Structure formats: structure tokens, C-alpha cells
Amino acid sequence: MENKNLKKRFKKPLLTFITIALLSSNATVKAQNQEHVQPSVEKSVFGAQAGLLGIWVNNEAKLTNAIALRSEIGFDGGFWGGSFYPKNGYVFTPIIAAEPRFYYNLSKRTRKNKSIKNNSANFISLRTSFHPDWFTISNYEKVSIVSDLSIIPTWGIRRHIGNHFNYEAGLGVGYRYYFAKSAGYLKNESDVAVNLHLRIGYTF
């Protein structure tokens, strides 16, 4: 009888101990697995953005955990004025761009418990853009542009606000080539190109 009572007395504490040990082990394994999960850019992000000199729609598609290919179409704008013109003018022209982006601090932001939602991180990119001479939108008649192609290494940041809104800032210096001969000039030209932008946007 005493042996049976002893067995009953130790059976419940033993079962409780084993249960706690198994739960703790499972939680430790899950935590270790989470630590080894590599932070990654989103598989695909669609959005629209606006800035002082334009409006654009874009998509960022995942290539690797840290690299996304951004494709973009929209309108770049320009303004002019002064005593030589009867009125201040503006022009908006189409732009097509492709931009591989390397989001280099995803892991750092994750370790600091900062959000990387919708690719909220710092990036280095190679922005390639083309302005075709298809049409323009302007308050002056018969305004045309010279088509150009630019390639600009750029550093920037992207941050998300809430579920849908975002903002971006970037700075880069690169190369621009003007297809001037197609517009009636004697030869094509090249020049230094600057990418300086501050945008706010909406992610769908």
C-alpha cells in the first residue's frame, strides 16, 4: 500500500515536469528557427507616388531576399517663368524607368524590431530611365522635348506609414544621353544627371 501511495504522490509532479520541459523545448526550437529566418523584401509591391515634379505608378518585384526590381511609369514635370515669357509655364512628359534596388539594412532593422513592411529600409540602386518624345502636357502649345536616357547610381530610404502610405527620399549623380539628332540637332549630347527626389505614396 505504501508503494502505491508513493507512486501516486510522485506521478502528478513528474507529469507536470515533463509537460513543462516539452513546452519549453518546443518554444526554444521555434525561437531558434525564427532567429534563422532571413529578412526579405516583399514578393511584389504595387504603389503610386507623387512629388513636386511628377506622379508615378510602380511595382517592386523580389529578385533575392535583399534585391527588388522596381519598374515605373509616370510623368516627370518642369516649370519655367520670368519676364521673357507672357506667363509661367509647365510641362509634363512621360517617363519609363527600371531600377534594381539593394535594400542593405533589412537585418539591422529587424534586430532593432523596426518594420520592414513593404520594403521599408535603406537602399542603393541603379536607376535607368527614359523620356520618350511621345507627347507632353503643358499650358503652352507645341511644347516638345528631346528624348533622353539616364543611368544614375542612387542612395535612398523608403519608409511605410500605417498600412498603405509611404515616403521616399533619394540622391544620386550619374550620366544622361540626349537623342538630339532625332529632334533636328546636328549631333547627340551627353551631360551629368542628378536624381534628387522626395515622394509620398500609397501602396495597394
DSSP codes, 137-174: EESSSS-----EEEEEEEEEEEEEETTTEEEEEEEEEE
pLDDT at 81: 80
Residue 83, C-beta contacts closer than 8 angstroms, at least 6 positions apart: none
Q: In this predicted model, which residue has the larger pLDDT, 15 or 88?
A: 88
Over residues 24-48, the pLDDT tens digits come to 444 444 444 444 579 999 999 999 9
What's the number of domains the chain is made of?
2
One domain, residues 83 and 163? yes
Over residues 125-170, the pLDDT tens digits come to 999 999 999 999 998 988 889 999 999 999 999 999 988 999 999 9
The CATH number for 128's domain is 2.40.160
**Backbone CA torsion sign across 162, 165, 171, 176:** positive
One domain, residues 83 and 173? yes
One domain, residues 7 and 70? no
One domain, residues 5 and 95? no
Print the domain residue range for 11. 1-37
Tell me the three cell numbers of residue 147: 528624348
One domain, residues 57 and 158? yes
CA atoms within 13 A on the CB side of 149: 4
One domain, residues 10 and 65? no
One domain, residues 157 and 185? yes
Nearest residue to 155 via CA among 135, 130, 178, 172? 172
